Amino acid sequence: MQINPKISVFGGGSWATAIVKMLMENMDEVGWYMRSAYIAGHIERHGHNPEYLSQVTFDVDKLKLFNDINDAISYADYLIFAIPSAFLQKELDKIQIPLLNKYVFSAIKGIVPESGLIVGKHFNKNYNVPFENIGVITGPCHAEEVAMERLSYLTIASNSKTLAEKMGGFLKSAFIKTSITDDIVGTEYAAMLKNIYALAAGIAHGLGYGDNFQAVLMSNAIREMKRFTKKIWKAKRNINKSAYLGDLLVTGYSVFSRNRTFGNMIGKGYTVKSAMMEMKMVAEGYYATKIAYDLNVKNKEDTPIINTVYRVLYENKDPKIEFEKLTTFLD
């Protein structure tokens, strides 16, 4: 079934590429903004992203490619941002037109460093987007498996049930199932936190800890996530649902997880800088760790895993010693 509302996706990475693929299952045309004119030109000529998920081919006649963020915004009714949180504000600084009448969805797994806010709150506070026009697209879902058309599940969060259901309809297909929730704040913080816990899982693996320890680590991580999110935004939520526990597990265990890979390199002795240079991809959990730690300095919740990862990444503490200490806090 073809759907007519206009949508623009913002970002040139693997998650943005996967979202464009999902949308093209249903849409007559999809807008796609990316900063790199070279990549946009390559897609226009060859029908695939040369840097991310290059196996995915697009019908270029159904793509509206933009190199100017304002043109992409003007074109669409619905805006889906999939730009890594560390670079989001740099792109938003280019906006010269109002977002007031747009529906804005975040598919970003992190917090905006410049404001310390989750993406939805950032758009509300700084760009006057009403909360009822804001939504979140979260997992558990890896872009690589979307590319392979393996069955995947998305959770769409919004204060407006109608808006969430519409976005779910745009994205669902034979290989994508969608569900909805009104827990925008909880799902955004969970998406941020699971990257930190995936980093912890990667560090543990790099240090030589086995599956038995990983199971205990993930069990403690979901309880820590519950405490953290409850302190930040008290609401009725089932932490065992896919948007929370499911997303944590796939990010903590999958070979496709950039955060687990990054953590694994740290556990094996890489410095933060050398791991970033070798990966050539953004591990959102690195930036999320500092923000979560700083938030918790104020909230004073019990978060031994976050604290451990912070000391390793930002205080240059020895991962082996820090994880030995962590084992005494886990049960």
Active site residues: 194
Average pLDDT of the chain to the nearest whole number: 94
Residue 109: in which H helix or E strand, if any? Answer: none
Q: Determine how many CB atoms are found less than 10 A away from the CB of residue 77.
A: 12
Give the pLDDT score at 299: 80
Crossing angle of helices 184-207 and 211-232, rounded to 10°: 150
State which H helix or E strand residue 85 sits in.
Answer: helix 85-92
- Quote the pLDDT of residue 284: 86
Task: Choose between 276 and 282: higher pLDDT.
Answer: 276
pLDDT tens figures, 78-93: 999 999 998 999 999 9
Domains of the chain: 7-182 (3.40.50.720), 186-326 (1.10.1040.10)
pLDDT at 1 over 70: no
Token digits of residue 291: 């923000």
Q: pLDDT at residue 326 above 60?
A: yes
* Tens digit of each residue's pLDDT (9 = 90 or more) over 18-72: 999 999 999 999 999 999 999 999 999 999 999 999 999 999 999 999 999 999 9
The arithmetic mean of pLDDT across residues 139-160, rounded, is 95
For residue 283, name the pLDDT band (cuts at 50, 70, 90).
confident
- Tokens 């969970």 found at: 190
In single-letter form, the type of residue at position 87 comes to F
Q: What is the mean pLDDT of residues 146-156?
A: 96
